[in-house]
């Protein structure tokens, strides 16, 4: 049996990012994220998996324990909505500090998506990736899932880069709830 999943970027997609977020007391979800994840998971039957670059670890700004504490706080906040993230995958490396080989897990590489898909028996053809950066879109495209760019903080310059095929999202959403609505409408078209 295989499952479908929505892969999510973490910082500035589901929670505000003050920069190298390592303090769980600073975790604040974007509006609509709790309701959106609840809908995706409970109503539409998706597994929810976070795929995140966390180079703050290799840079010395935070530890794996800090990242895990933030992830735990996200699930604690989501529990108010009867929702949760099924799993968190993150890459702690950066090529400037660790070299290319160690850093191959970093988005836009699809490696973490493939690892998550294998672990959770996910059918990538039925799955989506929601993120706020071009690297998220490229990661999803590289993994063969449909991609949704959420316009939380993306710059005009980055939007102009969307014209090349490998960087172009399948959909663009004004916010997280809009992204969830896009997924719901897309799967309803196939029924």
Mean pLDDT of 77-92: 98
- pLDDT confidence of residue 165: 67
Axis crossing angle, helix 111-120 with helix 134-143, rounded to the nearest 10: 50
Measured between its terminal Cα atoms, the distance across the chain in Å is 19
pLDDT of residue 89: 98
Give the 3-state DSSP-derived string for the chain, with helices as H, strands as E and coil as C.
CCECEEEECCECCCECCCCCCCCHHHCCECCCHHHHHHHHHHHCCCEEEEEEECCHHHHCCCCHHHHHHHHHHHHHHHHHHCCCCCEEEEECCCHHHHHHHHHHHCCCCCHHHHHHHHHHCECHHHCEEEECCHHHHHHHHHHCCEEEEECCCCCHHHHHHHHCHHHCCCEEECCHHHHHHHHHHHHHHCC
164 pLDDT higher than 90: no
Share of the chain above pLDDT 90, in %: 87
Q: Residue 87, exposed/middle/buried by CB under 10 A (0-12, 13-18, 19+)?
A: middle
Model confidence over 24-45: pLDDT tens digits? 999 999 999 999 999 999 999 9
| pLDDT the model gives residue 112 | 98
Q: Which CATH architecture has domain 5-189?
A: 3-Layer(aba) Sandwich (3.40)
For residue 107 the two structure tokens come to: 């988005």
pLDDT tens sequence across 115-162: 999 999 999 999 999 999 999 999 999 999 999 999 987 766 676 666
* Comparison of pLDDT for 134 and 190, the residue scoring more: 134
Residue 167: per-residue pLDDT: 76
pTM (2 d.p.): 0.95
* Closest-CA residue to 47 (of 129, 109, 106, 147): 129
pLDDT of 191 > 80? The answer is no
11, 12, 66, 136: the catalytic one is 11
Please give the Cα distance from 177 to 14 (Å, whole number).
11
Average of per-residue pLDDT values in the chain: 94
Q: Please give the share of the chain, as a percent, with pLDDT higher than 70.
A: 93
Structure tokens at 30: 């974007």
Token pair recorded at residue 160:
């102009």
Cβ atoms of 172 and 149 within 8 Å: the answer is yes
Active site residue 9: yes
Cβ atoms 34, 77 nearer than 8 A: yes
Q: So what's the pLDDT on residue 155?
A: 65
User: In whole angstroms, how far apart are CA 17 and each of 100, 160, 189?
Assistant: 26, 23, 34
Q: Known catalytic residue: 68?
A: no
């Amino acid at each position: 049996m295989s499952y479908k999943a929505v892969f999510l970027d973490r910082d500035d997609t589901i929670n505000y990012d003050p920069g190298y977020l390592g303090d769980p007391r600073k975790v604040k979800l974007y509006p609509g994220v709790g309701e959106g994840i609840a809908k995706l998971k409970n109503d539409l039957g998706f597994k929810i998996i976070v795929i995140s670059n966390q180079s703050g670890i290799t840079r010395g700004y935070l530890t794996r324990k800090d990242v895990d504490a933030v992830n735990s706080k996200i699930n604690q906040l989501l529990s108010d909505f009867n929702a949760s993230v099924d799993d968190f995958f993150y890459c702690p490396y950066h090529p400037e500090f660790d070299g290319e080989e160690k850093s191959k897990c970093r988005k836009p590489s699809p490696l973490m998506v493939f690892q998550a898909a294998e672990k959770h028996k996910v059918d990538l053809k039925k799955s989506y990736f929601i993120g706020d950066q071009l690297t998220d879109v490229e990661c999803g495209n590289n993994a063969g899932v449909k991609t949704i760019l959420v316009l939380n903080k993306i710059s005009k310059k980055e939007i102009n880069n969307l014209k090349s095929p490998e960087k172009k999202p399948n959909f663009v959403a004004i916010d997280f709830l809009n992204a969830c609505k896009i997924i719901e409408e897309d799967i309803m078209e196939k029924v």
